[in-house]
Structure 1
Amino acid sequence: MGRSSLGRGLDALLSRPVTEAKRSSIQTLEIDRIVQAGYQPRSVFEPEALAELAQSIRDKGVLQPLLVRPKGDSFEIVAGERRWRAAGLAGLRELPVIIRDLSDREALEIAIVENLQREDLGPLEEARAYQALLDQGLNQEAVAQAVGKGRSTVANALRLLQLPGTALRALEAGEISAGHARAVLAQPEADRGWALDQIVSRKLSVREAEALRRETAATRPIKVNPARPWRQVELNLSRSVGTKVRIQGQEQGRIELNFASREELDRLVALLAQEQGE
């Protein structure tokens, strides 16, 4: 299946003249005969959105048929799992479908394209979907052609899978964005956990996350500009000393440095002594 067909997604399949067997036409299947696909790229289905779609289906029916393929005595969903779930909530017993004989790779490509066209995939779902195509034997260029994306888009998405486990969980939970995640990946591997902690604890913007640099004691000290907001000053100090910094007060107050071990405390004490010329 070439790029032009996949690039048009389901619209191309539904508008194609029926030159194949009856399996290319719209049919009706009992909902109990339709099953989920193990390769479904989308893993998150918002309950509220499903409930709204279910109400729409009660009112107007299923306006677009599902695309399915034979799977033993059942039929596996290639595209339309959200409609299938909502139809079940709406109490439907039958659904309109188009039945196609598709290979695993073709089915996966179509499922990804449909979700990308509807902007339904999260960044990790998208990355895992591309990886699934790579596992089918495609290279990055072929994946990009199959889903109608630029190769750099595919490569950048796949890089997210290199995140440490804590960052992967934060991205999946929505605690950080894909832009934050790429900023974490831009750090040296040893500093990625530190960068994630800075982003989450300080609620940094993507631009602020991209500016994060864990500096060493040899790095020149940063002069505090009183005109800067405290958050920026804290960020600059954090870069300089390599740990979380908190400033309390305005004209008077205190500066707090966080440490997680005796070794880190010793490092901070030595750093401060060095800065004072001792």
Structure 2
Amino acid sequence: MKERLKVTHIEVEKLRPNPWNPNRMSDEMFHKLKEYVKREGMVEPIVVRPQADGFEILGGYHRWLICKELGYGSVPCVVVELDDRRARILSVNLNELKGQSLPHLLAELIHDLSKGVTLEDLETQLPYSTAELKDSLELLKLPDGLDAWLEEEAERQERERPVILSFVVEDAEPIEKALEEASRKHATSLTRGRALVEIARAYLEGGDAK
């Protein structure tokens, strides 16, 4: 069983950003996050690892930056002991492994939250503009079943999104020949993508592309 992680407060000045962080935030979203921290405080700890000169931030860079601007002396942190490779992997996962709100359920939640307040007031409390809040509420006006279809369609498009493969120049010729051969042997005309699928399937089955 994994050891339970402990939250500890570390001085803001002892933390520093990592040099590889690919995460970027718009000025508008940064402002919203800053206002949120002002209202609620630091409810989510920053993930760091020890370094010779302090602690390196693996997750929570923008919150750390905001805390510096707001004059925090220390911030809650989770300290992990990781080598460079695992630290980079964790950093990417912390940024990318997040769920996505279902549009209709989000619209219902926004509708509940908007009772008794204006959308302009709600905008200051949520990471959405007034226009985005209005667009979300419009979903509640759709005919029954249409919103579910839209969600299913969005999920289908996500499953069927194209995959882009890249090759070095010297590998292009044999790949082109293999695609042409697979297409030629097939009874019906194949797209290049479909031909590649047939080649892969034939390889897995231990035979030739049909």
TM-score scaled to structure 1, two decimals?
0.35
Larger radius of gyration: 1
TM-score, scaled relative to structure 2: 0.45
